[in-house]
Amino acid sequence: MNRKEFLRSAGAAGLGMVFVGKEVAAAPIAAALQQSTCTLVPSETAGPFPLDLSENSRFFRKDIRDGQQGVLLTQRLRIVGASNCQPMRNVRVNIWHCDKDGLYSGYNVANNRGDANAIHLRGYQFTDANGEVEFTTVFPGWYNGRICHIHFQVYVSSTYSAVSQLTYDIAAKNALYAANRTLYTKGNDPLGYTQDNIFSDGYALQLATLTPNAATGGYSSFMQVTVQGSGTTGVGHIEKETAKVFELGQNYPNPYRTTTTIPFTLKQSSTVRLELWDLSGRKVATILDNRTMAAGDYTVPVNLEALNLPIGNYMYQLVANNGEGTFAIPKMMTVLR
């Protein structure tokens, strides 16, 4: 399976299942809410400039800059289930936003004179054991009629996804713009929350923190996002079809140090491939290579040192082929920090 096949399987069903046959002070309101409540994030429009991220193999990546200029931003999101406030593991999170000048990639139209062939500032990751994803990007600018914002979409299952937007504390954001006038030549964002057609009806649950990061020389941001669920991945039609062929368990221990074990159960005899992918969308190891296996329970040990791989977070993907079709599920293995 090449990179595009992995990404399309990861995108087609949201969770990555396929069946063939998303000193500046932190925003205090946001921080308090994220620690004390598990209220569903408001649903918002995907905006006028979305793209189907599953259709391009380059979207599975942590660094979405593609050479764009701007203040470095490390954007972290934590996804939790509304029913128990527990982390949602192995869910796919898309994000996309405008550049420093307020233009989106992928479109060249009257109100967005961007590059129709570019895909910068768009990408997706899968949540780790803590329900978190992290993106490396640049701080977005603003455009007429909209306050500075980032779009995101959380795919919980093939039958449910949450689409919303986040923004930042106005004083913190404008201080960033003011300190970087040569980059953000349009100046401060002139709008307040009540003047924005998305956040005018409320923004407390969509307010991300924004703090300087001395290690990177840029800024870090965090927001907790609550979606429907109970701290476990959802189930739709595609997931049910895949479950007739195999079940892929969470690696253990997770988080891990250098070694871990991947469990799975085959319910039908199949040709099996087990792969490791890094967070830039590159396949870095094939642990089981098209092995014919009977129905049964299996455990596969993984030792990163033996594989000559650096310690870190990886996606592992099980692909099963049989007379019923091709089935695949990826999951995240999280390193112990």
| pLDDT tens figures, 107-130 | 999 999 989 999 999 999 999 999
- With 90 as the cut, is the pLDDT of residue 269 above it? yes
Which pLDDT value is given to residue 147?
Answer: 97
| pLDDT tens figures, 222-267 | 999 999 987 765 566 677 788 999 999 999 999 999 999 999 999 9
Which pLDDT value is given to residue 16?
Answer: 38
Which pLDDT value is given to residue 188?
Answer: 97
Q: What is the 3-state secondary structure (H, E, C) of 48-101?
A: CCCCCHHHCHHHECCECCCCCCCCEEEEEEEEEECCCCCECCCCEEEEECCCCC
Which pLDDT value is given to residue 256?
Answer: 96
Cβ 77 vs Cβ 225: under 8 Å:
yes
Average pLDDT over residues 197-220: 95
Which pLDDT band, with edges at 50, 70 and 90, does 23 fall under?
Answer: very low
- With 90 as the cut, is the pLDDT of residue 17 above it? no
What's the residue count for the chain? 337
| pLDDT tens figures, 71-94 | 999 999 999 999 888 999 999 999
Cβ 276 vs Cβ 197: under 8 Å:
no
Q: Considering all CA atoms of the chain, what is the largest pairwise distance in Å, rounded to the nearest integer?
A: 64
Beta bridge partners of 204: none
The mean pLDDT of the chain is 87
Which pLDDT value is given to residue 47?
Answer: 83
| pLDDT tens figures, 168-190 | 999 999 999 999 999 999 999 99
The pTM assigned to this predicted structure is: 0.79
The whole-angstrom separation of Cα 26 and Cα 322 is 52
Which pLDDT value is given to residue 30?
Answer: 42
Which pLDDT value is given to residue 4?
Answer: 46
Instruction: Between 28 and 326, name the one with better pLDDT.
Output: 326
Which pLDDT value is given to residue 7?
Answer: 43
Which pLDDT value is given to residue 234?
Answer: 58
Average pLDDT over residues 45-68: 84
Cβ 288 vs Cβ 273: under 8 Å:
yes
Which pLDDT value is given to residue 37?
Answer: 62
CB atoms within 10 A of CB 250: 17
Domains delineated in the chain: 22-227 (2.60.130.10), 244-333 (2.60.40.10)
Which pLDDT value is given to residue 32?
Answer: 37
| pLDDT tens figures, 29-49 | 444 344 446 899 999 988 887
Q: C-alpha angle 47/50/55, rounded to 5°?
A: 160
